């Protein structure tokens, strides 16, 4: 293998600890991961928290719940600042969850802006990513020095890379199936367009080997220890 892709824990080492928790992020570090991926949402009083879904059992949509109630009822849900502190020294793919059809969109860019402020405040080595292209575009406007990545699902890698490149983003984050279909030629075309490729979610060792061989720059996985052992052990 000519070079080593980075391995990031998907929502932390989420096969070994509850996803998007401080424990999962700490486990990813212990396993030797280069970084983690995590998800950002906000509460009713605009506290940024780390949680994948818009709603959580027993509380409902996080956007409608004050942070004090979240902390009292779900102490396992960290704030973004808490998560970034635990991840200090790691690369953090910080995904802003704000799609327009979800119950917590970000029409004015407030969540993106607050996320960038948290990244700056904690000195985190971060890539801000989102499925919402408008969100990553806003990130470049607010903080051009922070690298940005457009998340895609089931989209052609070469076509998506052309769009991401036109918008000035550094990363394209395709799903594993799309990246495998793209193969070496498709990933090389994305590289030629100035993009680096961060693939989610890669838990199959054979897929990981194929993607590493095809030139993927980052593999995001629930099992960083397993991938690191298989690829570099």
CB-count exposure of residue 45 (10 Å: 0-12, 13-18, 19+)? exposed
Q: What is the pLDDT along the chain (233 residues), one digit of tens a residue?
A: 346 999 999 999 999 999 999 999 999 999 999 999 999 999 999 999 999 999 999 999 999 999 999 999 999 999 999 999 999 999 999 999 999 999 999 999 999 999 999 999 999 999 999 999 999 999 999 999 999 999 999 999 999 999 999 999 999 999 999 999 999 999 999 999 999 999 999 999 999 999 999 999 999 999 999 999 999 98
Q: What local confidence, expressed as pLDDT, does residue 2 receive?
A: 46
pTM for the whole thing?
0.97
Superfamily for domain range 6-232:
Phosphatidylinositol (PI) phosphodiesterase (3.20.20.190)
Domain coordinates in residue numbering, the chain: 6-232
List, for residues 140-187, the tens digit of each pLDDT value: 999 999 999 999 999 999 999 999 999 999 999 999 999 999 999 999
96 touches 112 (CB < 8 A): yes
8 A C-beta contact, residue 218 and residue 198: yes
């Amino acid at each position: 293998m000519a070079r080593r892709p980075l391995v990031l824990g998907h929502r932390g080492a989420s096969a070994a600890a509850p996803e998007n928790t401080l424990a999962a992020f700490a486990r990813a570090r212990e396993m030797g991961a280069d970084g983690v991926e995590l998800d950002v949402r906000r509460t009713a009083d605009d506290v940024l928290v780390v949680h994948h879904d818009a709603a959580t059992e027993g509380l409902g949509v996080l956007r409608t719940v004050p942070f004090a109630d979240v902390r009292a009822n779900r102490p396992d849900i960290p704030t973004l600042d808490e998560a970034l502190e635990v991840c200090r020294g790691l690369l953090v793919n910080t995904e802003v969850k704000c799609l327009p059809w979800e119950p917590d969109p970000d029409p004015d860019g407030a969540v993106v802006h607050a996320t960038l402020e948290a990244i700056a405040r904690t000195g985190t080595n971060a890539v801000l990513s989102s499925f919402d292209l408008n969100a990553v575009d806003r990130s470049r406007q607010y903080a051009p020095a922070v690298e940005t990545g457009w998340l895609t699902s089931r989209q052609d890698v070469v076509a998506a890379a052309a769009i991401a490149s036109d918008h000035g983003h550094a990363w394209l984050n395709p799903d594993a199936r799309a990246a495998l279909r793209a193969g070496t030629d498709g990933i090389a075309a994305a590289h030629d367009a100035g993009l680096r490729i961060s693939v989610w979610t890669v838990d199959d060792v054979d897929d990981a080997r194929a993607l590493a061989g095809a030139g993927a720059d980052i593999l995001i996985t629930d099992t960083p220890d397993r991938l690191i052992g298989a690829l570099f052990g």
